[in-house]
Amino acid sequence: MHPFKGSVHVPALEQLIARVGRERVPLVMLTITNNSGGGQPVSIENMRAASAVCRKHGIPLYFDACRFAENAYFRLREEGYESKTPKQIAQEIFRLGDGCTMSAKKDGLANIGGFLCTNDDAIAQQEKNLLILTEGYPTYGGLAGRDLEAIAVGVEEVLEEDYLCYRIVSTAYLGKHISDEGVPIVQPPGGHAVYLDARAFLPHIPAEQFPGVALAAELYLEGGIRSVEIGSLMFGAAAKMDLVRLAIPRRVYTQSHIDYVIEVILNVWKRREQIRGLRLTYEAPFLRHFTARLELMP
Ligand SMILES: Cc1ncc(COP(=O)(O)O)c(C=O)c1O
């Protein structure tokens, strides 16, 4: 079990820059934690190495930082970082980059909103000018003042050790109880979600019949559990895996809610051989997974 499956493949990054040329790489974006690959964290050492490559080539390094605090908490898996606080780790992470995007619905602990950050004052000025044109003045912008205030508090609170511990432990609890019964999941469980491996869960359904969507639909029918496919519907033939993400909303569920989710998944697991594949009846020309319609295979 690799503890940092979200890490970037640094030699591949070097090779890509060499192949396409530095001028064709406007920035490098590193998502912490890696949402489409299992909610897996990136190690600090890996970020340091990626940052060194970017700085060598003069390429800005940006973080998709929406789960920065969960990523910081996973320093417990990394030698030499265990005794630092999540806040110290977060500060160390952001020093390695040039900016970030943030969907504050995640580790901003807010109901809505997000932000864009840069360490470059000239770019910040340009962005603020553009913001006035497109959304509004930076102090209110596209978000109401109360939402900006909630984010300001959220990014501090999210770094509290107790909060992060409860969150990561409840995700791991869900992962452990279903995998102990044989349910295939991405191991180890990520920070915000457990990812079911739908190809292994439903080996009789080929990727073209969307095993991830079939499984997500069954979880909803069985117990009203809403999940999302990350696989062949989302990425088409390029999908290497068919996963079902069980993202856990923060500060919502108690242990008994998680126990209910476990029960529902195990009920579906027991009758997995009867689950059928699906075929598309409508697909939009882009981002089809948001609006697709499917029906059961005959
Ligand atoms: C890693 C990551 N980045 C960005 C987003 C987009 O967030 P929003 O819908 O707030 O724009 C998401 C949403 O799930 C995400 O998981």
Distance (angstroms) between ligand 1 centre and the Cα of 103 equals: 6
User: Is the separation of the CB atoms in 263 and 222 below 8 Å?
Assistant: no
Nearest CA to ligand 1 atom 12: 103
Using the structure block, give the residue that is written with the tokens 């990014």: 155
pLDDT for position 82 = 86
Backbone angles phi, psi at 154, to 5 degrees: -60, -45
Nearest CA to ligand 1 atom 9: 103
pLDDT for position 75 = 84
Asked if the structure places residue 5 within a domain, the reply is: no
105 lines ligand 1 (CB under 6 A): yes
pLDDT for position 186 = 94
Nearest CA to ligand 1 atom 10: 103
User: Is the separation of the CB atoms in 127 and 118 below 8 Å?
Assistant: yes
253 shares its domain with 287: yes
153 shares its domain with 14: yes
Ligand 1, atom nearest to 67 Cα? 1
The domain in which residue 79 lies consists of 10-157
Helices (H), 43-160: 44-57, 68-73, 86-95, 121-134, 145-157
Q: How far apart are CA 68 and CA 90, in angstroms?
A: 7
Distance (angstroms) between ligand 1 centre and the Cα of 76 equals: 25
189 shares its domain with 81: no
DSSP state of 34: B
Mutational test site, ligand 1, from 32, 33, 106, max ligand atoms within 8 Å of CB: 106
pLDDT for position 24 = 97
Last residue within a domain, chosen from 157, 176, 211: 157
The domain total for the chain is 2
150 shares its domain with 60: yes
Given a cut of 70, the residues of the chain with pLDDT beneath it are none
pLDDT for position 215 = 98
186 shares its domain with 281: yes
pLDDT for position 91 = 96
Last residue within a domain, chosen from 94, 127, 157: 157
pLDDT one-digit tens code per residue, 231-240: 999 999 999 9
CATH of the domain at 197: 3.90.1150.10
CATH of the domain at 98: 3.40.640.10
62 shares its domain with 118: yes
36 lines ligand 1 (CB under 6 A): no
